[in-house]
Amino acid sequence: MGSEGPAPVVTVHVTGFKKFHGVAENPTETIVNNLQSYMNKRGLPKGLILGTCTVLETAGQGAIVPLYQTLQSALSKDANVPNSNRVIWVHFGVNSGATRFAIEQQAVNEATFRCADEMGWKPQRVPIVPADGGISRLREVCDNFAYGSYRCPVVKLSLTQKLKSLRARMLGKSDPLQEVGKTSLPVKEITKSLAKMGYEVTTSDDAGRFVCNYVYYHSLRFAEQNGIKSVFVHVPLFLTIDEETQMQFAATLLETLASIY
């Protein structure tokens, strides 16, 4: 009796993005800038610490140094917080065509930007982390397989695997053979919990190939290497789901994460 130590806490760090081509006002910048005061007014549940709230430039390669500085700095501070051995990074990004929230299950090792980022970079079919391999495993193991103008370097894959990969790429879907980083958080459980509370939310296995996916891929690698968690959430524009509802969603998401981790 009385030997129980202090209850462990969950520290959540949050990021959003600034404006970029086609999105003059990024809702995630507003959400992240206002989240600390919003949560203070709402009241943080026991066991949840809201750590850093950082707004990133909407840029890939040019923003990686500040991203890692943010990740590493927070990690160092967390090490000094008693009982805070559970850390989650939540990255918010906007999908201007979305009508609901989407919790991303994975990121792929490919940067193909539909427009230049805010630092002028526009990569096409470039691996985010070359050390992890090419943009798909298919390219690494294949040879003499072609369909029309599409040609890939395979030999060790079955015809079914080749066709599934080819079909996915032709339809613009996630390549089942592509190098991916996956969140270790229970995305489906989180989504189901939020949906029961009335939020329009879904799971997604395609974070795109723009800056959101770029940052998420790096974050997932960092999380795996440091024993922490990472998840990415796409939100609609405020014209689609108003600011107050999105703030409520962000707060509820953090509370849900703290309750299941």
Q: What is the CATH number of the domain that holds 186?
A: 3.40.630.20
> What was the pLDDT predicted at 77?
83
3-state helix, strand, coil in the chain (%, to 5): 40, 20, 40
d(CA 27, CA 6): 37
Question: Rounded distance, CA 20 to CA 18, Å?
Answer: 7
Q: Looking at the structure, tell me whether residues 122 and 219 fall in a common domain.
A: yes
User: Is the same domain home to 34 and 107?
Assistant: yes
Q: How far apart are CA 134 and CA 132, in angstroms?
A: 7
Does residue 76 lie in a domain region?
A: yes
Same domain for 32 and 101? Answer: yes
Do 114 and 152 reside in the same domain of the chain? Answer: no
Q: Is residue 157 domain-resident?
A: yes
First to last CA, the chain: 26
Cβ neighbours, 10 Å, residue 83: 12
Co-location of 223 and 115 in the same domain: yes
Instruction: Indicate whether 23 belongs to any domain.
Output: yes
At a CB cut-off of 8 Å and minimum separation 6, what does 197 contact?
252
Q: Are residues 108 and 36 in the same domain?
A: yes
Please name the residues in contact with 112: beta carbons below 8 A apart, sequence gap of 6 or more: 123, 124, 125, 126, 209
Q: Are residues 66 and 174 in the same domain?
A: no
How long, in residues, is the chain? 261
Q: How many of the other CB atoms lie within 10 Å of CB of 58?
A: 26
| Tokens, residue 114 | 């539909």
Rg (CA), the chain: 20
Nearest alpha-carbon partner for 100 in 251, 240, 254, 259: 240
Which residues of the chain, if any, have pLDDT below 50? Answer: 1, 3, 137-158, 161-162, 177
Q: What distance in Å separates the CA atoms of residue 110 and residue 117, rounded to the nearest whole number?
A: 15
- Asked if the structure places residue 5 within a domain, the reply is no
Does 109 share its domain with 208?
yes
* Number of domains into which the chain is organized: 2
* Average pLDDT score over the chain: 85
The answer to whether residues 198 and 98 belong to one domain is yes
Q: Answer whether residue 3 is part of any domain.
A: no
Given this model, what pLDDT does residue 179 score?
A: 72
How much is the pLDDT for 155? 35
Same domain, 85 and 197: yes
Q: Which domain holds residue 149?
A: 136-178
Residue 177 has what pLDDT? Answer: 47
Q: Which of residues 150, 178, 206 is at a domain's end?
A: 178
Answer yes or no: do 232 and 244 share one domain: yes
Based on the domain organization, do 110 and 55 belong to the same domain? Answer: yes
Q: Which two tokens stand for residue 47?
A: 């066991």
Would you state the pLDDT for residue 164?
Answer: 55
